[in-house]
Structure 1
């Protein structure tokens, strides 16, 4: 069946919400870079965000469906929640935090934009219905985006990438794949079980499920670097509020709204490309970072062009999977 007016409005609303989430997600790159500039250990940067996020979420839960439905869902399928949170929160953010110490915020943000095609390219591994098909055009756009990412890295490294830069690039690309996979796996699990959790509840559940891992990471951070400075704690609190709560809830809301519309889901994920522009501006204004130039500038342009092309491709009229029932997504 074809998409109707209701689906089009839902897709446009999801894209708008995803674009707003990109603005708050940018705080991750800017504040993490600020912590790295002050000498904060990357393990603390990762652990503090999610350890602080959990208590910040608690006051919201009574107005967002409550904790009880989340707890029931987690008790019914604890291994699934552990798997999704480990992939989409723990390993994803450990890799991103490590990479934050390697270069300016716009460089990490630009490299992370591979996430907008990573979700689509991983669909054959996640789905067993019509959503498992990867359009050939998406593969071409993915190559374009990867080319832009490599140019960004080469431009920043002035033509050569040392071992540390290659490792950082690999970490960002892996994190860009893991984040949408963790989110999509949870959405797919809830679709199969018929459990209805809104965006805030899903973020709370994954944050709660990830706490044991973050306590281990915090212990490792303390053993390696001692206690974090108050400056790093405050920067992590800013990331927790802006990216861990506001941005993540908005992103989960946007993707949950169009979970049954593959094209709109890809378009919502593609709006994260705006993070590159936000990171360039905020990094230059508040961290004194240099504006990208030369090869790096062309790389950034390729990334933006690729994402724009991808958004155009996935927004074209398509056939919606007839056997997928669109669940109502409660507003977060």
Structure 2
């Protein structure tokens, strides 16, 4: 593994640590009776001023605005997919599943990124090497995730499994799709902070419509605790984790194998989420199934990180 790929790997692992906070806090908000719509929308409303200040302080907003005017529809479409269709289903699922199950199911994004690659690169642009090893290593991680769920899933009803799983599978496909599509049509002309701000602006119509529905139709307003909790998620997951993850994928955007490796780092969110639940929610010590699943996840991660380019 070259130095650039190694740096991307480390950044991906750090991002997964901060991403794990999302699953725990979303579950806390759901248990507290908070609307999943406000849990999703407020995070992105909080993120917008932070990234706007970052880009303005770097004097990069003008270049971003020029790029956005050239591809208005693409920015709206893929930002909505990458941020809206990604995060809204995650907060919805938190109402029906514990954070460990949402975090576990979310790991389908590891394989989704690989399976979506042929659809993303419809022009037939060749990628570096075969993706088969990456797919096999990702399959080991997915097996570990399934093993982790075997014991706990017995206590959940079929309805809760469906409502807590299917939306997350949709989110797992939307996130890498939106991320990669914006990387493609910006062509490296924007830095990470510009691209995130562009996606925040592009997805703003989606969040305004969603929160407007909850406000005008459901007559729902967020409580004080939900404002604070979504701010925590916005800072840790939205600002820190998203910046780290986008920086990692930008570093290896021309190498599908390294991209798959970076996306595979998100598997460690399961372990971080479990540890967070044990500390913050007094969750019991993981079962033998969970420990065995963690071992498989670690093995898959090691294989991803040590494979060599042909």
The answer to whether the aligner puts 1:316 opposite 2:300 as a matched pair is no
* Structure 1 residues 112 and 304: CA distance shift in structure 2, 3 A: farther
Give TM-score, length-normalised by structure 2. Answer: 0.91
Deviant stretches of 4+, over 6 Å: none
Against the structure 1 CA distance between its residues 160 and 101, is the aligned structure 2 distance closer, same or farther, given a 3 Å change threshold?
closer
Q: Deviation per CA, 1:142-173: give whole Å up to 9, x if none.
A: 44444444444442232665122123212112
For residue 108 of structure 1, the aligned residue among 102, 111, 122 is 102
Please state if 1:92 is matched with 2:86: yes
CA distance in 2, matches of 1:106, 1:65: 40
The SS at the match of 1:130 is coil
Closer, same or farther: CA 189–122 of 1 in aligned 2, 3 Å: same
1:125–1:132: 8 Å Cα contact kept in structure 2?
A: no
* Alpha-carbon distance between aligned partners in 2 of 1:296 and 1:89, rounded to the nearest angstrom: 30
How many angstroms does 1:297 deviate by?
4.3
Residue 178 of structure 2 aligns to a residue whose secondary structure is helix
Paired residues for 1:149-188 under 5 Å: 149-158=145-154, 161-188=157-184
Q: Residue 220 of structure 1: CA displacement?
A: 1.9
| Residues 17-38 of structure 1, C-alpha deviations (whole Å, 9 max, x = no match) | 1111111111111111111121
Match for residue 214 of structure 1 among 203, 207, 210:
207
Cα contact 1:283–1:289 (8 A) shared by 2? yes
**Match of 1:272?**
266
- Kept in 1: contact 2:134–2:257 (CA 8 A): no
Q: Tell me how far apart the structure 2 counterparts of residues 54 and 189 of structure 1 sit (CA, whole Å).
A: 22
In the other structure, the counterpart of 2:40 is 46
Matched, 1:126 2:120: yes
1:71 aligns to 2:65 (yes or no): yes
Map Cα deviations across residues 279-319 of structure 1 (whole Å, 9 max, x no partner). 1111110122334324444444444433443444xx3123x
Instruction: Please state if 1:227 is matched with 2:212.
Output: no
In structure 2, the gaps of 5 or more residues are none
1:287 paired residue among 273, 281, 287: 281
- Unaligned 5+ runs, structure 1: 1-6, 319-332
Does residue 62 (structure 1) correspond to residue 56 (structure 2)? The answer is: yes
Q: Number of residues paired by the alignment?
A: 307
RMSD of aligned residue pairs (Cα, Å): 2.2
Matched-pair contact (CA < 8 Å) for 2:35–2:220: no
